[in-house]
Amino acid sequence: MGQGLKVCLESGPPPLSSKEQGGIDMAAAQQVADWLGRPLEIVWYEGEDDSDASPAAQVNGLLSAGECQLAGGFPLVSDGLRAPYNTQYPLVLPDHTRHFVSLGTLIHTVPYRSVDFRVLLGAAAGQRTVRSLDDLRGLRLLAEPSSLADNILLAHGGGVLRGNIMHVPMLQSDVLTALEKGDGAAALVEGPQHDAYQQAHPDSTLRDSGYRHPLQVNVGFVALDTLRGLVDLFDEAIPDLIERGDLATEFARRGYRFVPPVEPVVLPALTQRLLGTPSPGP
């Protein structure tokens, strides 16, 4: 066995990975560790729920503090990878102590999965057919406030759906639970979120419209630029695991659809223009 790997993962309910339930990002980390012949240690952390919190800065802080070598489940969007403006970050460590940490520069591995966005329909939608977001006009739409799905709906067509969107705070209810209860007629959600809901609610009456938004977000591991050699090793392992079907098989075993990475590897800044009129994927 080679030198051990320490990987930070956010702990949370499905589809996030957790020590109790495992999950797709933990599975990906284990697959890479096995490919490299290295023992894996997961460092679990809880995402900050402050309205001013920055998930990218928190991950950077954990890496800069030496809590782990890499962090998984990181959305590959240029906003999160840019150099920090404020290099001193008030980090809450996994042991709940707080320290100011000097942030470094993040680099990313090749992605190991992609997140798609699906339109789910409740009973109030009837037999509505959805070929584009324009077909949601007139329906009451549910979204988690400030989520990427929410921003896609808000930006679509210059804001034509804004008046139909009802926000569902995650502390009160899950968007799909609210949709099942009849609080709305449709919702745009991340694919893994839908997969997790289906596993937890096998008798759900929600209908997958079959529509997939053209925008997808790749997910990879990140590390400080001082560990470029380790990132290079991950860049060898991940494409091989995808090509051999190992990741797809492992995701399916856990009840998730494997969505392969797409181009561009890193999305540019998520402007209203990009969210409202994304370029079709390959």
Instruction: Round to whole Å and give the CA distance between 103 and 88.
Output: 6
Whether 128 contacts 106, CB under 8 Å: no
How confident is the model over 199-246, as pLDDT tens digits? 999 999 999 999 999 999 999 999 999 999 999 999 999 999 999 999
Mean pLDDT of the chain: 91
Helix (H) or strand (E) holding 101: strand 98-102
The torsion angle over the Cα atoms of residues 198, 202, 205 and 210, rounded to 10 degrees, is 40
Instruction: Round to whole Å and give the CA distance between 94 and 199.
Output: 29
3-state secondary structure of 6: strand
CA 148 to chain CA mean position, Å? 10
Flag whether pLDDT at 282 surpasses 50. Answer: no
Radius of gyration of the chain (CA): 19
Flag whether pLDDT at 280 surpasses 60. Answer: no
